[in-house]
Structure 1
Amino acid sequence: MNRIIHEAIEKINPNATIETIRSISGGDINQAYRVETNNKNYFVKTNQHVPANFFTFEANGIQLIKNTNTIAVPTVHYYNEPKQHEHAILVMDWIEGKSTEKSTIELGEQVAALHQHHHEKYGLDQDGFIGSLAQVNDFTDTWISYMRDYRLLPQLLLANERGRLSNERYAKLEKLINHIDKWLPANPKASLLHGDLWGGNWLTGANGKPFLIDPAVFYGDHLFELAFTELFGGFPQDFYNAYKEVMPIEDYYNDVKPLYQLYYLLVHLTLFGEGYGTAVDRTLNRYV
């Protein structure tokens, strides 16, 4: 692994001298490292068991967010698209700092500003990933068709393939998907979304400046993003207060929030098993 990291750093800066390579906790999917050189520190992720475009999708998402000039993201210095059995690698800035009392306020304001960047269609023009799961994408004319065909239906098929759905659960989820137009707005504004915004996917840099990491970007209803922030906690009330100062939260939010959270519950059910089954069933029973 050290050889792969050395080769990547040399491509970034041939004059850099690596001083230390330290393995760090980097989630369930990738191997992660802090790489210290004589003039800069890097965060490096590697993986040998992902598709060739795995880090390409992440790098492209970071760039999309960066282009909005709304909220900070790490600079991507290098990534590859490996051949079979080769290691995928992504090299970014090392971000480090302590939170301040303003960090989550700025995060709320800046995420809301990100959501004010819109597209005329819903979705994205490239396939991606949510965690380790492949996530098919395309642009659609309505939010209903995108949520049905590119979010909930693929999760129904994946969860069923992995044996996560009883006959009753499958039938209820299929019925909900087939009648999703009863609950969803057809044409909310298509905001640029981080796509995987839980408490572990933002951090602070110098002076408490908030940064977004590990995006799974697409364009959709901004309330879809907010619903996920509430699912597993990690965002204090001042985040939401600051968000609402920039971007309104529509009246239909409470009615649709569990449905938006269902997508992420299905992802976790597929990946991690029945520990998420009760929450999935509770949501299905609310709507079906």
Structure 2
Amino acid sequence: MEKFIKQAIYNRGDTSPIQLIRPVSGGDINQASYVKTEKEEYFIKYNNSTPPGFFQQEVQGLKKIKETGVIQVPNVYDFHESTESGEGWLILEWIQGEKNGKTEELLGRQLALMHSVSKDKFGFHHPSYIGMIEQPNQYYDKWAEYYTKNRLLPQIELAKKKGYLYQEREAGLYELLEKMEKWLPHSCEASLLHGDLWGGNWIVGKTGDPYLIDPSVFYGHSEFELSFTELFGGFSSAFYQAYQEVRPLSPEYEERKTLYQLFYLLVHLNLFGEAYGRSVDRVWRYYVG
């Protein structure tokens, strides 16, 4: 690993002596390291079995968010993916700081501003990943069609393949798909979304400013993003208050929220197993009985 890191840093153009390499915990997909050279500090992700485009889609997502100019992301210094060996790495700017009294308020406001960056269609121009699960992306005119075909259906089909769909669960989920337009808005803005915004996918910089990391970007309904922030916590009341000062939530949000959380519950079912099965069942039973 150390030999690889030295070579990756050298390829990036930093030939100064390496002063420190230490592993960084927090992820279960890649090996991660903090690297300090005489010249710079880096965060490096490494994986010896990356699927095609795994780091590339992350780089493109970070670039897309940075282009908005409203919320910060780490600078991308270099990345590499081998189609032959599956080996890949990503070299990012090292970000580390402490929250202050304005950090989460700023996160809410800036995320709302990012959601105000929109497109005329829902989706994205290339596939993405959530964890190691590849997600299809095409553009759709209707949000309900995109959410059904590019988010829920692939996860349901994967759960079936993995053996997580007993007969009643399968029937309930497919019935829910057929009735999706009953609950989703017929008209909403196609906002730029981070796509995987849980409490571990934002960090704090030196001045207390928030940074987004590990995106899986696409254009979708902003309520989809907000629903995930509520599923596992990690966001304060100051965050939600500041967000709604910029983009007030619709009165129907509470009714739709669980329907949006279903996607992430299916992802966790597919990644971590039946421990999430009951949560999935509670959702489809609520909507279809």
**TM-score, normalised by the number of residues in structure 2:** 0.97
Aligned residue in 2 for 1:254: 254
Shift of 1:212: 0.4
Which runs of 5 or more structure 1 residues have no equivalent in the other structure?
none
Shift of 1:13: 2.0
Aligned residue in 2 for 1:52: 52
Mean Cα deviation higher: 83-92 or 195-204 = 83-92
Question: Is the contact made by 1:22 and 1:35 (CA closer than 8 Å) also made in structure 2?
Answer: yes
Aligned residue in 2 for 1:160: 160
Q: Distance in 1 between matches of 2:15 and 2:3?
A: 16
May I ask how many residue pairs the two structures share in their alignment?
Answer: 288
Q: Distance in 2 between matches of 1:77 and 1:201?
A: 19
Shift of 1:92: 0.1
Aligned residue in 2 for 1:42: 42
Q: Secondary structure of 2:207's match?
A: helix
Q: Secondary structure of 1:139's match?
A: coil
Aligned amino acid, residue 126 of structure 1: H
Question: Is the contact made by 1:52 and 1:88 (CA closer than 8 Å) also made in structure 2?
Answer: no
Aligned residue in 1 for 2:218: 218
Mean Cα deviation higher: 188-197 or 7-16 = 7-16
Q: Secondary structure of 2:151's match?
A: helix
Aligned amino acid, residue 190 of structure 1: A
Aligned residue in 2 for 1:141: 141
Shift of 1:270: 0.6
Aligned amino acid, residue 72 of structure 1: Q
Q: Secondary structure of 1:164's match?
A: coil
Mean Cα deviation higher: 2-11 or 222-231 = 2-11
Aligned amino acid, residue 284 of structure 2: L
Q: Distance in 2 between matches of 1:257 and 1:178?
A: 18
Question: Is the contact made by 1:9 and 1:16 (CA closer than 8 Å) also made in structure 2?
Answer: no
Q: Distance in 1 between matches of 2:86 and 2:286?
A: 46
Aligned amino acid, residue 159 of structure 2: A
**TM-score, normalised by the number of residues in structure 1:** 0.98
Shift of 1:146: 0.2
CA displacement, residues 154-191 of structure 1 (integer Å, 9 cap, x when unaligned): 01100111111111101100110111111111231000
Percent of aligned pairs sharing the same letter: 47
Q: Secondary structure of 1:80's match?
A: strand
Q: Secondary structure of 1:206's match?
A: coil
Q: Distance in 2 between matches of 1:202 and 1:179?
A: 34
Shift of 1:26: 3.8
Shift of 1:50: 1.8
Aligned residue in 2 for 1:265: 265
Q: Distance in 2 between matches of 1:277 and 1:144?
A: 24
Shift of 1:19: 1.7
Q: Secondary structure of 1:208's match?
A: coil
Question: Is the contact made by 2:77 and 2:93 (CA closer than 8 Å) also made in structure 1?
Answer: yes
Q: Distance in 1 between matches of 2:16 and 2:120?
A: 44
Q: Secondary structure of 2:147's match?
A: helix
Q: Distance in 2 between matches of 1:197 and 1:78?
A: 23
Which runs of 5 or more structure 2 residues have no equivalent in the other structure?
none
CA displacement, residues 28-67 of structure 1 (integer Å, 9 cap, x when unaligned): 1110000110011100001112213100000000000000
Shift of 1:86: 4.3
Aligned residue runs from structure 1 range 82-101, under 5 A = 82-101=82-101
